[in-house]
């Protein structure tokens, strides 16, 4: 069966009120790849009804970011979601989500100012606001999100807890290309040379794990070797950070369970990735 396409908030809310069973929700910005589809598959397995949203959320882009170029392919997205037998696709317009006179923001303190928040100070405010709105409209039992955006996952779990949403967030592992590059809609911006350079993100994370396996635990030492590897690939580091996965606070010594995340600019495209050190 083809998914039902819904582009109005009123219709989505009205349909939702009639749905029974466990509702699984996957929020996306479209231009779907296997990373998104892994979330949909997880939702299919764990829910009775699956709703996917496609909305390129303008408020999570900074003034000089790629909102106007953000890749889209709605027809292809619909086909992929039809193949996976999704039940509903919700794709509201900007005007519906942010009508003239819109004034309300959801903001999570502190953990939104570190890591990606340093160079994207208004990004997470946009993310938490749109996800809160989508959750109010869809009221899902489960919401599926990728660990690819690890900070986003932690921030949204905090929001759900603090604002007493009843939805449970399910974190799903990072899907990668065979050579280790984490799938991302933004990989489309890369030339074939850039694509090769971009593997340095994952390579540097694997190097961190190797160093840890060899007994090196100093975050500074690990970050320094990761830095060399990335700079050898002519890429610009926004940040590399070693942190506690719950507080997102920097830790000077890596332990099993620590996270390392990084943002690197390859050919003007800012890419992110992370690893759980085991």
Annotated catalytic residues are: 36
Note whether 259 binds ligand AMP by CB under 6 A: no
Tokens of 240: 């590399």
Picking from 55, 57, 60, the residue whose alpha carbon sits closest to that of residue 90 is 55
Report the distance separating Cα 250 and Cα 239, nearest Å: 12
Is residue 50 close enough to count as binding ligand AMP by CB under 6 A? no
Stretch near ligand AMP under the rule CB under 6 A, chosen from 145-153, 159-167, 209-217, 253-261: 145-153
Rule CB under 6 A: say whether 53 interacts with ligand AMP.
Answer: no
User: Which is closer to ligand AMP, CB of 38 or CB of 235?
Assistant: 38
- Using CB under 6 A, pick the residue from 174, 205, 254, 275 that binds ligand AMP: 174
Q: Note whether 274 binds ligand AMP by CB under 6 A.
A: no
Q: Indicate the residue among 3 and 35 with the shorter CB distance to ligand AMP.
A: 35
Lookup: tokens for 59? 């408020």
Smallest separation (angstroms) from ligand AMP to the CB of 44: 15
What string of DSSP letters covers the chain?
-PPEEE--HHHHHHHHHH--S-EEEEEE-SS--HHHHHHHHHHHHH-SEEEEEE---GGGS-TTSSGGG----HHHHHHHHHHTT-SEEE---HHHHS-TT--------STTTSTHHHH-TTHHHHHHHHHHHHHHHH--SEEEEEGGGHHHHHHHHHHHHHTT--PEEEEEPPPB-TTSPBP-GGGGG--HHHHHHHHHHHHHHHHHHHHHHTT--BHHHHHHHHHHHHHHTT-EEEEEEEE-TTT--B-SB--TT-EEEEEEEETTEEEEEEEE--
The answer to whether 149 contacts ligand AMP (rule: CB under 6 A) is yes
112 is a site residue for ligand AMP (CB under 6 A): no
Q: Which is closer to ligand AMP, CB of 49 or CB of 183?
A: 183
State which residue, 180 or 194, has the beta carbon closest to ligand AMP. 180
- By CB under 6 A, is residue 37 in contact with ligand AMP? no
Candidate segments 142-150, 220-228, 231-239, 241-249, binder of ligand AMP by CB under 6 A: 142-150
Neighbour tally for 161: CB within 10 Å: 10
Task: Report in angstroms how near the CB of residue 53 gets to ligand AMP at its nearest.
Answer: 9
Q: Is 52 in the site for ligand AMP (CB under 6 A)?
A: no
Q: Which is nearer to ligand AMP, 173 or 193 (CB)?
A: 173
Nearer to ligand AMP, 142 or 145 (CB): 145
**d(C-alpha 259, C-alpha 255), whole Å:** 9
Stretch that binds ligand AMP, among 178-186, 210-218, 227-235, 259-267 (CB under 6 A): 178-186
> Shortest distance, CB of residue 268 to ligand AMP, whole angstroms?
18
Chain contacts with ligand AMP (rule: CB under 6 A): 28-29, 35-36, 38-39, 145-146, 148-149, 172, 174-175, 182-185
């Amino acid at each position: 069966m083809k998914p039902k396409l819904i582009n109005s908030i009123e219709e989505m809310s009205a349909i939702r009120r009639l749905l029974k069973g466990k509702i699984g929700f996957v929020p996306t910005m479209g231009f779907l790849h296997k990373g998104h589809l892994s979330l949909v598959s997880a939702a299919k397995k764990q829910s009775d009804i699956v709703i996917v949203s496609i909305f390129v959320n303008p408020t999570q882009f900074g003034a000089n970011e790629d909102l106007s170029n953000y890749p889209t392919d709605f027809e292809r997205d619909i086909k992929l979601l039809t193949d996976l037998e999704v039940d509903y696709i919700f794709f509201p317009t900007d005007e519906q989500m942010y009508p003239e006179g819109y004034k309300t923001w959801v903001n999570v303190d502190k953990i939104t100012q570190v890591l990606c928040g340093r160079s994207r100070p208004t990004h997470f405010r946009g993310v938490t606001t749109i996800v809160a709105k989508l959750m109010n409209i869809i009221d899902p039992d489960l919401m599926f999100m990728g660990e690819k955006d690890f900070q986003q996952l932690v921030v949204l779990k905090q929001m759900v807890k603090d604002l007493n949403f009843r939805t449970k967030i399910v974190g799903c592992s990072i899907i990668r290309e065979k050579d280790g590059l984490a799938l991302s809609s933004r990989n489309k911006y890369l030339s074939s040379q850039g694509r090769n350079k971009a593997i340095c993100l994952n390579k540097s994370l694997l190097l961190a794990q190797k160093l840890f396996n060899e007994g090196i635990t100093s975050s500074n030492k690990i970050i320094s070797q990761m830095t060399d590897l990335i700079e050898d690939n002519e890429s610009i580091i926004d940040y590399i950070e070693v942190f506690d996965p719950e507080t997102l606070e920097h830790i000077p010594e890596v332990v099993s369970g620590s996270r390392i995340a990084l943002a690197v600019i390859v050919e003007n495209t800012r890419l992110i990735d992370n690893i759980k050190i085991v």
